[in-house]
Amino acid sequence: MKYEQWNIPVLDEERIGALMDAGYPYLVSSVLVSRGVDTAERAAVALERERTLAHSPFLMRDMDKAVARIQDALSNGERIAVFGDYDVDGITATCLLTDYLRSRGGDVLMHIPGRFDEGYGLSAEAIRSLAERGVNLIVTVDCGITGVEETAYANSLGVDVVVTDHHECKDELPDAVAVVDPHRPDCGYPFKHLAGVGVALKLVLALGGNGREDALFARYCTLAAIGTVADVMRMEDENRAIVSMGLEAIDHSDFIGLHALLREAGLAGRPISSIQIGFVLAPRINAAGRMGRAALAAELLLTNDEAEAERLAKELCDLNRERQSVEQDIYAKAVEQLEALPPDEKYALVLASEDWHQGVVGIVASRLSEKYSCPSFMIHLAGGVGKGSCRSYGGFNLFGALEACSDLLAGFGGHELAAGFTIEEANIPAFRRKMNKYVREHTGRARPVSSLTVDAELTRPALVTLEEVERLSELEPFGAGNDRPVFCLRGAILETMQSVGQNRHLKVRLQKGHTSFEGIFFSVSATDAGVAAGSRVDAAFYLQINEFRGSRSVQLQLLDLRPARAPSAHEAELLALSEALFSGKPLAARDAARLLPSREQFVRAWRILEHEAGDGALAGPELPLLRRLAAELPGAESFLRTSVCLNVFAERGLLTLEREDGVLTLRLTSDGKKVALDDNPQMKQLRALLS
């Protein structure tokens, strides 16, 4: 079990039926109702995909100034540098603006700083180098909003700066010719959640002028879509239009390097969704920046040479495999390190090491945040200074948290969900304490609880067909605010489970009613799963189409697997019988024979409790806990008699039973004292019925 808590909504089946009557598929209807879209009219609006961008780029503060300065540079033949970032958003933004300016005949240099030797954002050294190469104008994309000192330095060299960014602003803005960022407090742009590449796209549309918007959007929407998905922007308003159109246009994109990457990644000729961008394309582009070679990805996207595109695409995929290996090693060491932390330092995971690859710690932070349901801060140490990457969880505002701890930081930047920072190694313990205190106070949680939000329980599994799963694409594009739908089956039979992929993954077969499903559980072994073939389980998963040797079938991509929390019909009958005994309801002699534990069962039950309740308490979801204890009980009717034993122990004062949100907590109270179990009223009643 990966998640302690599953949040499963109770859906109105009549509303689902009404949407199905209006022509929407079962799965789509279930997800829509789960997300508050419960009429055909609302469904039509929710599923509509805009084909144009809603807002004029000139609604952004300083967009007019940015356009005027860049137009002057183009007209006068000035040398322009496009200064980007080394993540996917920054790389696609750099390529987008560079390609456009070159198409206008611009003398354009492209500069993406090295992650390790230059670091994030503008730097005095890079600015000086560009000035020495004759650059008169620097246009930043996906960076620059915090570059106050660097912009002042550029001004001192006679180099103008136009900043375009989408990150949160600090109190002081750079003294640039123009500062274009929808997060500026004085910017009235209606949509605040564009990616850096989205802002760059709006700049290009503004530069193109009236009559060119549609053609420019058609050319650049795919690059903008990749950066938007990769940067986990909210999938609404203009982002929805950008990604929808980008996905639609990807097959006939003008960028031959993108097609080479699709072929090398095994996606050529296959439908491309936001899922493929997020989990296949983006990691490969990102690998270049993470491994210190961001220029490689930019060269690939901008090349016009087919052979060069093929070579660069292969090199990029090789680099991604290297990144994956490094990531696995860092993740394992990070888990070891965090397990040694005291409980009050696990609300925010602050981990550091000199051995960790600076470019990969951000990915590991994302994995840790998901696994442990809390913000994660991963720090690469070198020479007494730490370079940190952090990731949010549950909408927690990282930027605000870093601001609150800024007295301990040498610098920071980013946005609510992802950020970076620099810290002196000596300040890390104080930062860890302060950040954990901040997270506790601002989340109000006694402790982090890993939780999974499920959109819909599949109550009619027979309706889950290939066509139904294919039509889930109507909900695209997926992303923040429009997550990929999560479904679950409760009380399914785990027919088979088999380790695959050199024992790294688990293949399962589940049966619910008369319907069976094949499933794959990545990065989970049979031992990790904590369930056994033949048992009743709850399964949470994405639905996908598996294609193998020309055959297509529905497949569950498992997110979690746990012992079933709801009783089977037989278990419900036994629990009702136990409840009848302890609530004083009349019983027949045949019921008494089933209910009465043997002396051996009482003894065994108590020894199990003493053994497992190391700190005097044993807790877990009630039914799985009962099943586990019953499996250790000898003799007949073990499940029923386990329930009886626990209630008798409680009545005799040997333990307390606490139930809350489906969790049963047993607290031992006996301290070794002996009690007469036969004096329990229910035991007397059962023996009387059998006498």
Summarize pLDDT for 335-354 with one digit per residue, the tens: 999 888 888 888 899 999 99
Find how far residue 328's CA is from the centre of its chain: 17
Residue 568 has pLDDT above 60, yes or no: yes
The pLDDT value given to residue 479 = 87
Find how far residue 268's CA is from the centre of its chain: 26
Write the DSSP symbol of residue 639. Answer: H
474's tokens: 């109507």
Average of per-residue pLDDT values in the chain: 92
402's tokens: 């870093």
Q: What is the pLDDT of residues 185-226, one digit of tens each?
A: 999 999 999 999 999 999 999 999 888 999 999 999 999 999
Residue 246 has pLDDT above 80, yes or no: yes
Residues 6+ apart with CB under 8 A from 581: 587, 591, 595, 644, 647, 682, 685, 686
Q: Return the minimum-mean-pLDDT range out of 86-100, 641-655, 669-683.
A: 669-683
The pLDDT value given to residue 633 = 92
As a whole number, mean pLDDT of residues 85-111 equals 95
The pLDDT value given to residue 448 = 60
Quickly state the pLDDT bin for 68 (edges 50, 70, 90): very high
446's tokens: 């006694």
How big is the chain by its Cα radius of gyration, in Å? Answer: 30
Strands 551-563 and 515-521: parallel
The pLDDT value given to residue 583 = 93
The pLDDT value given to residue 370 = 82
As a whole number, mean pLDDT of residues 649-674 equals 85
Q: What is the pLDDT of residues 474-525, one digit of tens each?
A: 999 998 889 999 999 999 999 999 999 888 899 999 999 999 999 999 988 8
Quickly state the pLDDT bin for 407 (edges 50, 70, 90): very high
Q: What percent of the chain has pLDDT over 90?
A: 72
The pLDDT value given to residue 670 = 65
The pLDDT value given to residue 372 = 84
The pLDDT value given to residue 446 = 55
**Integer Cα distance of 330 and 355 in angstroms:** 8
**Integer Cα distance of 565 and 626 in angstroms:** 11
The pLDDT value given to residue 616 = 79
Helix and strand element counts for the chain (H, E): 26, 21
As a whole number, mean pLDDT of residues 601-616 equals 88
Residue 675 has pLDDT above 90, yes or no: no
CA-angle at 523, arms to 522 and 528, nearest 5°: 110
Partners of 424 in the β-ladder? 385
Residue 75 has pLDDT above 80, yes or no: yes
As a whole number, mean pLDDT of residues 548-560 equals 91
Burial of 474 (0-12, 13-18, 19+ CB in 10 A): middle
Domains of the chain: 57-219+232-241 (3.90.1640.30), 341-451 (3.10.310.30), 458-563 (2.40.50.460), 569-690 (1.10.10.10)
The pLDDT value given to residue 81 = 97
HEC profile for 294-316? HHHHHHHHHCCCHHHHHHHHHHH
**Integer Cα distance of 642 and 159 in angstroms:** 79
497's tokens: 């489970």
Residue 146 has pLDDT above 80, yes or no: yes
User: What phi and psi, each to the nearest 5 degrees, are found at residue 424?
Assistant: -70, 140
Q: What is the pLDDT of residues 432-490, one digit of tens each?
A: 999 999 998 887 665 566 788 999 999 999 999 999 999 999 999 998 889 999 999 99
The pLDDT value given to residue 646 = 96
**Integer Cα distance of 375 and 352 in angstroms:** 15
Asked if 506 and 497 touch (Cβ cutoff 8 Å), the reply is: yes
